[in-house]
Structure 1
């Protein structure tokens, strides 16, 4: 009887910690395995967009800290036999010029190129056919909008994953993970091109710029690898703007996503031209990284959102408790972050809580 009462009490405590009426919460905020979370807030709702092989789904919740009972709907089912039919990764939903756009990565043949293609790569390159694609919809919210296929986003017929939009006073840009050449396989770098509109690249290939390469020890897998660039990655770029100073950053993931050393890195735009690599300054250390004391490993691919009352900044990211299980161990978490005196973001150590819920969350 005592054991039964104790089990019931623990279950009640766990429920209360994640209940929408609680003043605290614990990570993860979604029990199911998932990764690459993109969250926005619109009209008093939080929206979480995720992918699953050949489909994109959207969930909505009044609270940021519990998605287990959130409403969910299918936004897009990829038709078979097309270049974007399989391995859909890292979708994002953006409101641009009065319309909604979903930008995502996809592949035509389940990430499995034929030997005649793979042989051109110095290392095995299963992602060689991944490209960027765009869906478009018109509506008052992403929940009520019907999305249809718009276009492939030109990456010069080269590997491209984890693309995002970078909004700047000089225009709209596409930042994504790229290779130097078509069959490089590694390293994965960050490229930028200018856009005519959310689905059309205006930069010719000669103006594509690489603004970050995984040259630092913590950007490589294994850590500090010196013999070659295999598994060295910069990916998952996301724009982050200081709401007070206006400083613009790109927070991106470094190392490898199925590894304990996966972390977040930072570029700051210190000039006026996003297409000029010299106008970007790279922070020499990771800004968000594993916390072995709390078994929080492989933290990366973040998005950023405000608390319900708009007074706090929150990072939503994926991480893993068991780094030996790779991609299947990833779950979605969130924590509050602040800003340093120099205007750079001050991210906390990743962990599980309990943490105080976002300000204004009922």
Structure 2
């Protein structure tokens, strides 16, 4: 995800009304909807709180929060500036993949950013085996205090320690009252590629409790579909594991990590799955990796590059929904991405059963 579309949120400087592009124009609660639900955007993070759905996604320059009574209609969504970094800091540019988590009664914003607009000087980049424009990307945290994510006052809190190494797409993972940080990482500071999944233990949402010697890599791009071009054998350039998201089976309690594989500007971008089959997320052996992608392109409907998902439920809580980005024309790369929503179910073995990506029309979420 090494370049992002700067959307109209670029100009946002406060709380305002903002029309997010959408296919839906009917305000009389239609029975169906069509994808995309946001016409331009990537790395969506959506959650439901009280009577609203909340959405944030990458815009490169700040963290915007949108809210709507409808999961699938964002045309008249309200918008709020959550966090805008001052210039000249290590987190002033290239803000990617923001997420907002409710932890212990406050709202924690976790995002990645860098100080150099993705352009390290030659004296730095020369250490990388391959081109490494995101070598200075790190993970950062802001916090909004209060019960309501809309009314909370957000402020910068800290950098999450990633041992002065590349880090993007960080998320919080909670298991047995312990909080973890899972993010996309390199083996070493100047690797450039591949991008893997790392995990560290947290003592609170902004403090890493694991020394570097205890950082664990729980997934590396090993299968042909995790590499770009598909099946590349000559080197690891463009091979990526990124965008991890926790997903819990509401019936069995099984814990999954759904992550993105391959490269986000490419038709082969897809979702992959780790299942926590042991008791210790810090033990790579306690994770079981699915040998095939679990959500992938559907050329018959021109749905390509599907990935970087988050998960929510229908208004009445009876349905599970995946929110993701994809492209209709993969030749346009990052600028072609839009945000989509689809219902998914669960298989008999307790693993998620994702549909084929498409455009619909689909029935609106139950209770909407």
Structure 1 residues 168-183: aligned runs within 5 Å: 168-183=175-190
Residue of structure 1 in register with 2:267 after alignment? 260
Residue of structure 1 in register with 2:29 after alignment? 21
Question: Is 2:155 the partner of 1:148?
Answer: yes
Distance 1:284 1:17, change over 3 A: farther
Residue of structure 2 in register with 1:223 after alignment? 230
Question: Is 2:38 the partner of 1:30?
Answer: yes
| Equivalent position to 1:107, from 97, 114, 130 | 114
By how many angstroms is 1:51 displaced? Answer: 3.3
By how many angstroms is 1:170 displaced? Answer: 4.8
Larger deviation, residues 317-326 vs 169-178: 169-178
| Equivalent position to 2:353, from 341, 346, 354 | 346
**Counterpart Cα distance in 2 of 1:156 and 1:170:** 25
Kindly report structure 1 stretches of 4+ aligned residues shifted beyond 3 Å. 14-20
Residue of structure 2 in register with 1:40 after alignment? 47
Root-mean-square deviation over aligned CA pairs: 1.1
**Counterpart Cα distance in 1 of 2:209 and 2:24:** 51
Question: Is 2:287 the partner of 1:299?
Answer: no
- Cα deviations by residue, 1:132-180 (Å, 9 ceiling, x for unpaired): 0000111221111111000000000000000000000050000000000
**Counterpart Cα distance in 2 of 1:52 and 1:317:** 15
| Equivalent position to 2:136, from 113, 126, 129 | 129
- Cα deviations by residue, 1:268-310 (Å, 9 ceiling, x for unpaired): 0000000000000000000000000000000000000010000
By how many angstroms is 1:107 displaced? Answer: 0.4
Q: Is the CA contact 1:49–1:57 (under 8 Å) kept in the aligned structure 2?
A: yes
Question: Is 2:135 the partner of 1:94?
Answer: no
TM-score scaled to structure 1, two decimals? Answer: 0.94
Q: Is the CA contact 2:131–2:192 (under 8 Å) kept in the aligned structure 1?
A: yes
TM-score scaled to structure 2, two decimals? Answer: 0.93
SS at match of 1:52: coil
Residue of structure 1 in register with 2:164 after alignment? 157
Larger deviation, residues 42-51 vs 123-132: 42-51
Distance 1:195 1:16, change over 3 A: closer
Q: Which structure 2 segments of 5+ residues have no match?
A: 1-21
**Counterpart Cα distance in 2 of 1:264 and 1:19:** 33
Q: Which structure 1 segments of 5+ residues have no match?
A: 1-13
Distance 1:17 1:337, change over 3 A: farther
SS at match of 1:147: strand
